[in-house]
Amino acid sequence: MPAGRFVVEGLALLPGTEIELPPEIAHQARDVLRLATGTMLHLLDGVGGEYPAQLVLVERKRVIARIGARQAGHAESAMRVVLCQGMLKAAKYETVLQKCTELGVAAFVPLLCERSVAAEEASESKRRRWAKIVAEAIEQCGGTCLPELGTPRPLTHALTEVPAGGIALIPWEETREMPLRATLAGAIADRGGIASISEVRIFIGPEGGFSAREIELARLAGALPVTLGPRILRAETAAIVSATLALDTFGALG
């Protein structure tokens, strides 16, 4: 059993070659996990490949690993679920990124909404932190494909980006008769099966929720308002529940 799993982006993982691990990963391997020469670990390319690697040198200033043959990583969901999340306070948005990456969400799109609490463009440092959070979530959960991290955009723009064959769902507390799971299952049946659906996009409001005007804009764009049940959920809870229900409907959670 490998001692650790690490996402390594920007480096060629060629079987039979040796690479120097990036400083942060080297620190994790040497100082946190205290891995010694000869230890096996797994390196991930972020796009589905997993490479067993053996540490051949562990020094204070560098750690070198010999790359083994590429292995197909854990199978990802056949259905692409994209979470379009109204911007939240930093800690709450980071929770959404972490938990929904663990579940298998394929992409995240931050939304600028009427009631967003953070309507500024994401800084470079913030985007680096987001990337670190999803990488650590992939390492922990056994996944192999890093989700895409979009830049913040207005809700109206995100609504126009639903691809042909895609389904847009928008949970709203005033919807009562259209449960998310039943609505999605009905759409699958109406379209002739899962294979006819290219993507599911879930639109979650910010902490203040979507306004009635935004819901109407979403409806006009083809999004289906759905309910998550009788309770009013926090935005971050609604995101996790919605992703879970959608992925489970497609059999992605076992």
For 205-225, how does the pLDDT look when each residue is reduced to its tens digit (9 = 90+)? Answer: 999 899 999 999 999 999 999
Q: Residue 45 and residue 11: Cα distance in Å, rounded?
A: 8
φ and ψ of 212, to 5 deg: -60, -35
Q: What is the pLDDT of residue 1?
A: 42
Question: Measured at the alpha carbon of residue 222, what is the angle toward residues 216 and 223, in degrees to the nearest 5?
Answer: 70
Q: What is the pLDDT of residue 78?
A: 72
CATH superfamily of 5-72: Hypothetical PUA domain-like; domain 1 (2.40.240.20)
Could you state, in order of their start, the residue ranges of all structural domains in the chain?
A: 5-72, 81-249
Distance of CA 34 to the CA centre of its chain: 29
Q: Residue 120 and residue 123: Cα distance in Å, rounded?
A: 9
Would you tell me which CATH number, out of the four given (1.20.140.10, 3.40.1000.10, 3.40.50.720, 3.40.1280.10), belongs to the domain 81-249? 3.40.1280.10
Q: What is the pLDDT of residue 120?
A: 53
In this prediction the pTM is: 0.89
State the DSSP code for 163: P
- Under-50 pLDDT residues of the chain: 1, 119
The kind and range of the H/E element at 5 are strand 5-7
Tens digits of residue pLDDT in 161-215:
999 889 999 999 888 889 999 999 998 888 888 878 889 999 999 998 999 999 9
